[in-house]
Amino acid sequence: MLLMLLTAMFFTLHSQAQSEFQVNKEESKLEILGTSSIHDWEMVVEDYQLKTNLTATNENTTTINRVSFSCKVEDITADNRIMDGKAHKALKEDEHPRILFTIIEDSSIEIKDGKTYIKGSLTIAGVTRKIQFPVSIQMLSDSAFQVKGELSLRMTEYNVTPPKAMMGALETGDEITIDIDLLLEQ
């Protein structure tokens, strides 16, 4: 009887300490920034799914157990329909309609030189690479936290040919930056 009581208490405490958080899209932004031979550009990820699971191990320590991100290529937009079309084609939307990120289970979070890195697998245009995304994580309350970060990568690392326009007069730079500012709530 005592063993059953202790087991029930453990599972109750464990389930209370572990919480799933979802993004508040109205208070968050996710952008892709780049350059071209004429001007800098930006695209916004309009719709996406992001879930994370946190466990509070004590008052000062929170462990990220799971991160799952997904967006449709068609939901990455600029203020220019021609740019949208060229970007979607370059990202091979017809063959690979989604961009995905998941954390790697073992050692998914690393703190190095005062910075937090989320290690995971990023899939773009059907190519999956392991990345380390540098972020800052700020607990706002027991039920909300903010994640900010920037990740630079090259399109060609994912077999994406940087788009061109105006018969090649406008060439997009290979390097892009993924810029996030996310409010996650229980």
DSSP annotation string for 117-166: EEEEEEEETTEEEEEEEEEEEEEEETTEEEEEEEEEEEGGGGTPPPPEEG
CATH number for 158: 2.40.128.110
Number of C-beta neighbours around residue 42 at 10 A: 13
The answer as to whether 5 is a domain residue is no
Query: What does the alpha-carbon distance between residue 168 and residue 57 come to, in Å, rounded to a whole number?
Result: 55
> Letter for the amino acid at 73?
V
The answer as to whether 49 is a domain residue is yes
The answer as to whether 2 is a domain residue is no
Alpha carbons within 13 angstroms on the beta-carbon side of residue 57 total 5
Asked if the model's pLDDT at residue 4 lies above 60, the reply is no
Give the range of the structural domain holding residue 139, as residue numbers without chain letter.
18-185
The answer as to whether 162 is a domain residue is yes
Number of C-beta neighbours around residue 77 at 10 A: 16
The percentage of residues in the chain with a pLDDT greater than 90, rounded to a whole number, is: 47
Give the number of domains in the chain: 1
The answer as to whether 84 is a domain residue is yes
Q: Is the dihedral of CA 151, 160, 172, 73 positive or negative?
A: negative
Whole-prediction pTM value?
0.81
The answer as to whether 13 is a domain residue is no
The answer as to whether 86 is a domain residue is yes
Query: If you average pLDDT over residues 122-141, what whole number do you get?
Result: 92
Asked if the model's pLDDT at residue 8 lies above 90, the reply is no
Asked if the model's pLDDT at residue 105 lies above 50, the reply is yes
Q: Which of 9-18, 39-48, 59-68 has the lowest mean pLDDT?
A: 9-18
Asked if the model's pLDDT at residue 141 lies above 70, the reply is yes
The answer as to whether 3 is a domain residue is no
The percentage of residues in the chain with a pLDDT greater than 70, rounded to a whole number, is: 81
Query: What does the alpha-carbon distance between residue 19 and residue 10 come to, in Å, rounded to a whole number?
Result: 15
| pLDDT: which is higher, 51 or 48 | 48
Q: Which of 118-122, 124-128, 162-166, 181-185 has the lowest mean pLDDT?
A: 162-166
pLDDT attached to residue 9? 34
